[in-house]
Structure 1
Amino acid sequence: MQGIDLQDCPAYLQVMDWDKLQYFLMVARHGTLARAGAALHVDATTVSRQISALEGALQQTLFERAPTGFVLTAAGRALVPHAEAMAAAAARIHKADESGAALSGQLRVSVSEGFGNSFIAPRLGRFVAAHPELEIDLVASSGFLNPSRREADMAVLLARPRKGPLITRKLADYSLGLYAPADRPDWQAAVAATPLSRAGIPVIGYIPDILYAPELDYLGEIEPGLRATVRSSSILAQRRMIAGGGGVGVLPCFLASGDPALVRVRPDQTIARAFWLALHRDVARQPRIRAFIDWLDGEVRESRGLLVPG
């Protein structure tokens, strides 16, 4: 059997399926089996097996195996526009239409612990109800997965990334303030009248040598040289320590507002920060990605007064 002429689109469509073409496109875009596998959430062996099966079906060599990775042959280059056309068609098929057709697949979002647990998680039920066939991983922790390395589909970060094949934009501004336990009016009065460094009140904050983002080093914006004397790597733990009478400390307003165990002190002192949305260029047009971003934008708009009080 002779190889198929890849300039003849109908001929190759008869011998392959979209699943194999996805592997072909990812290797063509990323250049190595490992990076293609990461993009597809499979191992490199699976990618290699699919590429070999596709080449066998076409009886064509699509890639040259070079020390630096996989390089398209002439046959591979001829296949790319056809594969991209099928990718566009597949995206249209899977896209939710105006009647509310279901989205499916996996969506992994990396977000800071405080924003993920206190803002996204309580609201996520509405998005889940609208898209019940989606599998959603909300990775809310002290630290971030890297969209550039395809560890997550998207991330909500504390600063705008400067490197990588990413699409980035500001998601929302948010404010932080100084909070004290509601049942310690003596501390509240002391903080209002006395520098914290001389008030004899424990200060709660992050552990400096394992601070996962420089944007969290904000105690100096309350008072120059201010140090935490009771520390945790978790903002949720810091909130509990303040509410439980362990000291005073800085918290995001969206995390502390409405908690009867907390009182904001020095309300004229506000620390301004922002959340940044980052996603890999390769996933930006996927319907499930767009749906989540649209939903999150709506939640942020509705909650602007919570994120930036006053």
Structure 2
Amino acid sequence: MDWDGLQYFLMVARHGTLARAAQALHVDPTTVSRRVGALEKALDQTLFERVPAGFTLTAAGRALVPHAEAMAAAAARVHAGEGRAALSGQLRISVSEGFGNSFIAPRLGAFAAAHPELEIDLVASSGFLNPSRREADMAILLARPRKGPLITRKLADYSLGLYAPAERQDWTEAVEAAPLSRAAIPVIGYIPDILYAPELDYLGEIEPGLRATIRSSSILAQRRMIAGGSGVGVLPCFLAEGDPALMRVRRAQTIARSFWLALHRDVAQQPRIRAFIDWLDSEVKEARGLLAPS
């Protein structure tokens, strides 16, 4: 099978558009289109569906990805020289906004410096890309997926608590002394009808029937609103501990959740995947006290 054609195919599969694939390959988009078209003709299969947002893999395209990945890994080993197989290619990780921005992002520099030939996409947002559909190499989710050709396991447990602005000692005392429903203090939380994961519906674990009156789809925005004095709300401890603008209240009330790692079984043994997982496991183990403080 022609490696050049597969290389162009793999770049379009990873990047989703001709323009981004062409930029990664340092060629023009017309060349990418021509090479992919030639590969489809040679295989007599349609590998991509052309959609307004770019290119999405067909079933035949998804079946071809692991073969192209294997050839890319072999090419990287040859390029790096025997005994010195540098990691290269694109690594795309889908992760929740809070964990991605506050835990992974500040630590990622060391991993990137160790593997300078990797292109790393950290997709940290409200919602997740789907490894089953090859939208990402791996996802760090709030619940274990129950279907799809995935390898899944628990990555880490983490804790959430109720936080108030540090400057509002009166609120802290009121929350400790009485139910929030009687304290006349604004409650900050997620927007219920666009909640992207049921695990985030946790205000009822603080008090039955508790509702947020100031809402955002972003946990980072919620943190800033609490720190800025807009109200009280639930935050992951790894996001809030150590922030002098925040005060943990009702420390006996702890909400327990877990992060789950999911990746398509076809990419599980790719060297760049294994390297990132090993690195992340080490970081999580070292920060266990921050993620789930006793």
TM-score range relative to shorter protein: 0.7 to 0.9
How far off its partner does 1:100 sit? 6.2
Determine the structure 2 residue equivalent to 1:18: 3
Structure-2 change in CA distance of 1:155 and 1:20 (3 Å):
same
Distance 2:208 2:194 in 1: 21
- Which residues in structure 2 correspond to 1:3-152 (within 5 Å)? 17-20=2-5, 38=13, 46-52=35-41, 55=42, 91=73, 94=76, 101-152=85-136
How far off its partner does 1:165 sit? 1.1
Distance 2:248 2:261 in 1: 29
How far off its partner does 1:94 sit? 3.5
How far off its partner does 1:163 sit? 1.4
Determine the structure 2 residue equivalent to 1:219: 203
Contact kept, 8 Å, 1:38 with 1:149, in 2: the verdict is no
Q: Which structure: larger Rg?
A: 1
Distance 1:19 1:119 in 2: 38
How far off its partner does 1:17 sit? 3.7
- Give CA deviations for 1:42-101 in whole Å, capped at 9, x if unaligned: 77965442143xx4xxxxxx6689xxx889xxxxxxxx9xx96x9767645636999764
How far off its partner does 1:104 sit? 0.7
Structure-2 change in CA distance of 1:242 and 1:87 (3 Å):
closer
List alignment gaps of at least 5 residues for structure 1: 1-15, 27-35, 56-61, 72-79
- Give CA deviations for 1:230-261 in whole Å, capped at 9, x if unaligned: 10000000000000100000000000010000
Structure-2 change in CA distance of 1:162 and 1:37 (3 Å):
farther
Distance 1:221 1:258 in 2: 24
Determine the structure 1 residue equivalent to 2:229: 245
Between the aligned residues of both structures, percent identity stands at 77
Q: Kindly provide the amino acid, as one letter, of the partner of residue 240 in structure 2.
A: A
Contact kept, 8 Å, 1:63 with 1:70, in 2: the verdict is no
Determine the structure 2 residue equivalent to 1:9: none
- Structure 2 length normalisation: TM-score? 0.80
- Structure 1 length normalisation: TM-score? 0.76
Determine the structure 1 residue equivalent to 2:49: none
| 1:283 is the counterpart of 2:255 | no
List alignment gaps of at least 5 residues for structure 2: 19-31, 47-57
SS at structure 1 position matched to 2:233? strand
Distance 1:192 1:98 in 2: 64
